[in-house]
Structure formats: structure tokens, C-alpha cells
Amino acid sequence: MPERRRAEANALLNFGGYLPAALLPVGTGYLSDALGIATGSTLFATVLALAALTAGGIVWRTAR
């Protein structure tokens, strides 16, 4: 049964990984145009840091 759902799992992984990877830089470009490069870059770095900390926390909790 798991072999039959491999394509679905791969599609979900691609959607969940590539969509944010595409939207974050595009959103940062629009923010940089509207608010300036320093503010746009700072917000981009903050979002990435929060995502990394959240993912690290999830991994840490499930590994215990």
C-alpha cells in the first residue's frame, strides 16, 4: 500500500517545499520595492530564522 501512494507523497513534498521557496524571494522583492532593501532583507531574514527555529523545535520534540 505505501508504494501506491509514493507519487502523492512526492507531489505534496514538492508543493510544500517549492511554493514557499518561490514565494519568499518574490515577496521580499516586492517588500524591498515598497519599504527599501534594508527593511525587506531584514524581514526576509526574520521569516527564515523563525521557520528554522520552528522546524528545529519540531524535530527536537519528536526526537526525544
Please tell me whether residue 64 adopts helix, strand or coil conformation: coil
Give me the residue spans of the domains in the chain.
2-63
Q: Which pLDDT score, from 0 to 100, does residue 26 have? A: 93
3-state secondary structure the chain: CHHHHHHHHHHHHHHHHHHHHHHHHHHHHHHHHHHCHHHHHHHHHHHHHHHHHHHHHHHHHHHC
Q: What is the pLDDT of residue 1?
A: 57
Instruction: Quick: pLDDT tens for 19-56.
Output: 888 998 999 999 999 999 999 999 999 999 999 999 99
Position 43 scores a pLDDT of: 93
**Does residue 60 surpass a pLDDT of 70?**
yes
Q: What pLDDT does 12 receive?
A: 87
